[in-house]
Amino acid sequence: MNAVNHVVLGRCRPAAAVLALPLLLAGCITIESTGQSSRKTKKAITDSASYRMSEVLYPDADSATSAQRLAKKRLKELDRQLEAAVTGLIAEYESQIGPMSEGMGTALQRIEEVRVEVTDEGAPVVYVDPDRTIHVDFKVAQGFFAGSLVEGMQGRDFFGRPKNDLGEDPSDAELLAAFLELRQSIDAQKSRTLIGDIFSDDPFAMQEFAEDLDRVDTRYRGTLYFLLAHELGHLALGHFDPGWSASVRDTELQADDFAVRLMVSALRPVIIQNSLLGGFFGDESETPNLVGFLDLFRYGYQRAGFVAGDVPDDAYPSAMERLERSKVVFQQAAAPIREAAGDALERAFEEAFREAAEKIAEGES
20-42 pLDDT, tens per residue? 334 444 444 444 444 445 566 66
Q: For position 339, what pLDDT does the model report?
A: 75
Q: For position 120, what pLDDT does the model report?
A: 85
CB 161 within 8 A of CB 204: no
Nearest to 133 by CA among 235, 56, 225, 57: 235
Model confidence at 212, pLDDT cuts 50, 70, 90, reads confident
> Pairing mode, if any, of strands 115-119 and 126-128?
unpaired
- How far apart, in whole angstroms, are the C-alpha atoms of residue 318 and residue 298? 11
**Mean per-residue pLDDT for 291-312?**
74
Model confidence at 232, pLDDT cuts 50, 70, 90, reads very high
Q: For position 153, what pLDDT does the model report?
A: 67
Q: For position 162, what pLDDT does the model report?
A: 62
Which helix (H) or strand (E) segment holds residue 344: the answer is helix 343-364
Q: For position 190, what pLDDT does the model report?
A: 55
Work out the mean pLDDT of the chain and round it to a whole number: 76
Tell me how far the alpha carbon of residue 126 is from its chain's centroid. 15
Concatenating the DSSP letter of every residue in 155-222 gives TS-BTTB-GGGG-SS--HHHHHHHHHHHHHHHHH--TTS-GGGGGTT-HHHHHHHHHHHHHHHHHHHH
Model confidence at 15, pLDDT cuts 50, 70, 90, reads very low
- Core vs surface per residue 331-354: b (16+ CB within 10 A) or e: eebbeebbeebeeebbebbeebbe
Model confidence at 267, pLDDT cuts 50, 70, 90, reads confident
CB 227 within 8 A of CB 126: yes
Q: What is the DSSP letter of 280?
A: B
- How far apart, in whole angstroms, are the C-alpha atoms of residue 118 and residue 107? 31
Distances (CA, A) of 114 to 117, 168, 213, 220, 246: 10, 47, 30, 22, 24
Q: Among residues of the chain, what percentage have pLDDT more than 90?
A: 28
Asked if residue 320 has pLDDT above 70, the reply is: yes
**154: exposed, middle or buried (Cβ count in 10 Å: 0-12, 13-18, 19+):** exposed
The dihedral of CA 293, 297, 303, 304: what is its sign?
A: positive
CB 360 within 8 A of CB 298: yes
Q: For position 147, what pLDDT does the model report?
A: 85
CB 256 within 8 A of CB 233: yes
Model confidence at 338, pLDDT cuts 50, 70, 90, reads confident
Higher pLDDT, 32 or 210: 210
**What predicted TM-score, i.e. pTM, was given to this entire model?**
0.83
Asked if residue 266 has pLDDT above 70, the reply is: yes
Higher pLDDT, 279 or 165: 165
Asked if residue 19 has pLDDT above 60, the reply is: no
Model confidence at 116, pLDDT cuts 50, 70, 90, reads very high
Q: For position 5, what pLDDT does the model report?
A: 33
Distances (CA, A) of 260 to 89, 290, 328, 329: 12, 11, 10, 7
Which backbone phi and psi does 243 adopt, to 5 degrees?
-85, 0
**308: exposed, middle or buried (Cβ count in 10 Å: 0-12, 13-18, 19+):** middle
Which helix (H) or strand (E) segment holds residue 330: the answer is helix 319-333
Model confidence at 149, pLDDT cuts 50, 70, 90, reads confident
